[in-house]
Chains A and B, each alone.
Chain A
Amino acid sequence: KFASFVPTKYVLHKPVFEKLANDLAQETGGEVKIKIYASGALGKGPVEQYQRAARRIAEISYGLPGYTSSVFPKTLLIELPGVTQGHQDATRKLWKVMGSHLKSEFKKTVPLAVFVTPPAVLMMRDKPIRSLSDLKGLKIRASSKSAAAILTAYGATPVQMPATKVYTSMSTGVVDGALMGTGSLLIFKLIEPTKYVTMGLPEMPTTLFMVMNEQAYKELSDKNRKILDKLTGLDISLRAAQLEANFGDLGMKKFRALPGKQVIQLSAGEQAKFAKAAEAGVASILSEAEGKGVPARAVFNAMKN
């Protein structure tokens, strides 16, 4: 059983989830079958997805580590600004440190795919952001605690709300904008309330995972487990990341095509200012994590270099 909280029209459903199910059934001669329960049929919402696999409500689940950030302090370091250059690079970096650092975070599960969405952009309802100072005092929706810390470092006021509420909040001015991946333009219909998109900030992608219950993984025969290993891991992650990136690009393309919308690319000088501000935020996040006994700096450096 594969638990997915997203509907079947989701961009990864056919090319990744269904393809994996088909390939696995074919290569194991029908010995291992995956049935996908989409739209949260086995339990709603993204938050508990990891637990659904860990507790074997489903053998495989798809979700976001960011919803339970305390469980994945090391994995989520990939989302900090300045770690990655593009989704391919980010996904490779994740898998580079997977064995040495991250695997231990996936308790009671085996990560089948871990990858990222394209980096977050600033979507603003009526105030264009061309420089760091433009952000000062504006209310921006943040998706995680780290993102909130970075936004604070930029001088903005982070606001906490579920992704599904951003549309309404932006339409009506409860928040001035949101720092989210370009995929949200279409998924959460943010393409409508957003007037200005600012790109070129220090990269902050969003991580996604597909995990399998550890026990169920061990129960597979050696042969079948090898087949599963071959079908999952870095390659499937890269492919998923590419699909997410294509979807984000599609959102941006549609956005550009609409009248009255504007895409702002930060100048090199401003990018440097953002990067400098972000550095301070990153430093404080890292030292806070170190304070809690997470070897954050070591993982951060291992990812970066």
Chain B
Amino acid sequence: MDPIIAGIAGLILILLLMSQRVPVALAMMSVGFVGLITLNSWPAALATLVTETWSTAIFYELTVIPFFVLMGNIASMCGMSRDLYTAANSWVGWMRGGLAHGTVLGCTGFAALSGSSVASALTIGRVALPEMARYGYDRKFAAGAVAAGGTLGILIPPSTGFVIYAILTEESIGRLFLAGVLPGILLAGMFMLTIFIQTTLQPAIGPSARRYTWREKRDSLARGLSIIFIIVVSIGGIYGGVFTPVEAAAVGAALALFFAARRKMVSPKMLGTVILNTVSTTTMIYFIIIGAAIFSPFLALTQIPESLAKALNAMELGPIVLLIIVLLAFIVLGTFLDGFAMMVLILPIVLPIIEQSQVPNFLELRPDSSDFKVWFGVIMVVILEMALISPPVGMNVFVVKGVAQDVPMRDIYLGILPFWVAMILCLAVLVAFPQISLLLPNTMLG
């Protein structure tokens, strides 16, 4: 069969299977497998199935995922999200829209403990949404702040999004983690700016909450100290080059367990919950990486990425136009596809196209260089964040809906809209100034 036709058939088949609720990873495995039989051979397809499953399972660098997931789970279980939110509120809660500012700050802090956006939205949402309701915050506005703030979870390290990107592109996990820090802070700042503008225009949607006494401020900060300690040691350890990401994750998880034990929060039931949740998240992520690893040799044999890149190059779109088309395509796909699914499916096709275009030159980044891939990783993750909150399918929206059952979906999406605009702006800034993403990895890891 003609490889390109086989490839197109394969992509259509994948979409068909996914629409019938075949798990994304299983769809990629089966289409990749059948495709390899067609374009290579039956023994090669069988061998790829086992070899890629095995080599993914024993992939040393991937161990950051279970370790950081474990750390996040322990942190959630022992009330660290509440501590973070309280600490943030004691300082900013008195302002107009203060509880929303506190939500974003709390999410930023929690993002440094957890690799998942959904987790950030849920743990902070559980604390923040009732609090904002109590002070008469507009429900749309409150839901938007939680859903958007939660997305920071995959931009600020640790981040499962960056780990999967790193595996797909063979880029360094440590560099990507560091690259996410400044953009994460920038985005958090833009969210707070959004809140400021909204509450200035409509003061009623976010009244000020009570002022905390100095004593309360000090105590809440003291409680937050253990969290800051974990973050500084683990993420700071990567920055300082003291640990590899895998080691940092193990140290973070061990410290989280230590603080949980000191708070007397460790019980068999707590450990059981932590174990089952960690194991299920870990296998879910490994499964999708295995699916991608079996699908991508098929994709390579179809030569679709090469042919598409050639065709697009022949069209001689300017770099800006090409980049905008690609980003728009990702944003549109992200509205209905799961972010990870989108990344493992589309990135292997799109990355070579951009690499071989004028875009890297235009940004003064060497194509095929680490800088280019790291920068694009940050862009990719911001797009994943947008996918999490865009209709019709946005995990973070479902999460917020789960906590605030009485708010209609339509209202949640309306509340998100201003934050979504802020993300578009942030994306534009990150494209215009790749240095923001590259500063930390380049100063520290060279």
Contact = CB atoms under 8 A, between A and B. Distances in A.
A267 interface: no
B320 to A, nearest CB: 27
Contacts of A283: none
The CB with the most chain B CB atoms within 10 A, among A43, A162, A173, is that of A43
A42 interface: yes
Interface in A53-87: 55-58
A52 B300 CA distance: 15
A43 B48 CA distance: 8
B241 A193 contact: no
Interface string A23-51: 00000000000000101111111011001
Interface in A135-161: 161
Given A161-B244, A172-B240, A173-B241, A167 B446 contact: yes
* Chain A contact residues, majority secondary structure: loop
Contacts of A232: none
B268 interface: no
A45 B410 CA distance: 46
Nearest to A39: B170
A51 B51 contact: yes
A56 B44 CA distance: 6
A168 B445 contact: yes
B174 to A, nearest CB: 6
A42 B55 contact: no
A55 B244 CA distance: 33
A57 B32 CA distance: 13
Contact of A57 (B47, B59, B61, B368): B47
A169 B297 CA distance: 32
B361 interface: no
Interface residues of A, number: 33
Contacts of B240: 172
B387 interface: no
A15 interface: no
Interface string B364-401: 00001000000000000000000000000000000000
Interface string B22-53: 00000000000000000011011001100110
Contacts of A271: none
A47 B55 contact: yes
B60 interface: yes
B51 to A, nearest CB: 5
Contact of B241 (A44, A51, A58, A168): A168
B55 A193 contact: no
A47 B40 CA distance: 22
Contacts of B43: 55-56
Contact of A55 (B51, B243, B300): B51
B90 to A, nearest CB: 36
A174 B240 CA distance: 10
B105 interface: no
B293 A1 contact: no
Interface of B: 40-41, 43-44, 47-48, 51-52, 54-55, 59-61, 170, 172, 174, 240-244, 293, 296-297, 300-301, 368, 445-446
30 contacts: A41-B296, A41-B300, A42-B301, A43-B55, A44-B55, A44-B170, A45-B59, A48-B54, A48-B55, A52-B51, A55-B43, A55-B44, A55-B51, A56-B41, A56-B44, A57-B40, A57-B44, A161-B244, A162-B60, A162-B61, A164-B172, A167-B446, A168-B172, A168-B174, A168-B445, A171-B446, A172-B241, A172-B242, A174-B243, A193-B446
* List of 8 A-B pairs having minimum Cβ-Cβ separation, nearest first: A172-B241, A55-B47, A41-B300, A42-B297, A57-B44, A48-B55, A57-B47, A56-B43
Interface of A: 1, 7, 9, 37, 39-45, 47-48, 51-52, 55-58, 161-162, 164-165, 167-169, 171-174, 189, 192-193
Given A47-B55, A57-B51, 6 more contacts: A9-B368, A43-B55, A55-B47, A161-B244, A171-B445, A174-B242
